Structure formats: structure tokens, C-alpha cells
A and B are shown apart, each in its own frame.
Chain A
């Protein structure tokens, strides 16, 4: 099902942010169910054990960075939507995240609007991923596509780098 409910694993070491993110994402979009995880090292096991559609990760965590987690996830789940959700500034980080296989990069901003942006990006990433999986199932993808070293939507992925503070009003 391409447009079904979405189960997200949100990884952040801060308990308040885990609860806030779950609260606001589920309030913005009632098709999104958020599960939380404080320990990035536990993510691979959770991906193996639970039917998760997307990983959303903070950047700064005591155990490892969000970029390191992205690389670890990509080893076993090359196409699973992975979104870096951070208050870190700098175009370099966004580029690094995408080059490591992150599907998208959403920057936190003052207030709560960035949770709406994140919900939209999750929906877009998961819907696109499901559509590609469906095409793969009916053998409708060209041979060798998507390339193994890239996420399926790398070429068209839009990052928050070009957005105004607080993102677009989409």
C-alpha cells in the first residue's frame, strides 16, 4: 500500500525532544505513528524486529552522530528513508548527510513549524520509497536502477539548505 499509515523510528538522546517530536508529528498527520529510541546503537536491531517505514535521527548524540547512524543503517537497509533532523547549521553537514545516503535533511528552527515540515518530508520520502518498491515488485524498474551506492531519490532530493528560516509554507 503506497499511501497507508507510516511508522517512524525517531532517534534522539533527549527525552523531552523525543516526546515533543512524537506529539507534534502525530498531531500534524494522524497517519504517522512515532516510536522513539534513545540509543542509536539499538536502531539496527529495531529495524530487524519492527515494521518501520522511516528513521528520523538527531545529529548530536553521545553514542554516535546521526551521520554515523545513517551509515550503519545503510549497510543493511540501503533504501529505507532516513532523515537527519537537526538544529546544526551549515551547508556542509547537509551535503555530508546526503552523500552518506540520507534521504533528506530537515533543519530545526524556532517554534514548532519545523515539525510540520518534517511530517511532510517523511510522507514524501515514504510514499516515494513505497512506489519504487512497488515498481520493483512488478519488475518495472530499469536494470541497474537505482544504483547501489545511491538512495533512489538522491538526484531530486531537496534539502532545507535553500529554504528560508522555518522552511517553506508547504
Chain B
């Protein structure tokens, strides 16, 4: 449910509940993109990241 959906109500419950969901999803998307972009740069720069087994 997004804030522009007709069921949305501007009350604390909706902000806390849906806000937490979107915060978590945003953190996960940022982490994946950050790691992906750094991996692309490493690949372009031929940088060795070492073995982290």
C-alpha cells in the first residue's frame, strides 16, 4: 500500500507500519546496489579483492 492509494489514512499506525516496511526494503536495495556497483568498479579496474572464504 502506498500513501497515494485510496485506503491510505494519515495516522501513526500507517506511517510506522508501512514506513518500517519501506525502510527495510530501501536498505536491502541500497546494499545490493552498493555491492553490485563496487563489484563492477573492481572488475573495470581489475582490482583483486582477495579470498574471503
Question: Is B a genuine binding partner of A?
Answer: no
Residues of A in contact with B (beta carbons under 8 Å apart) = none
Residues of B in contact with A (beta carbons under 8 Å apart) = none
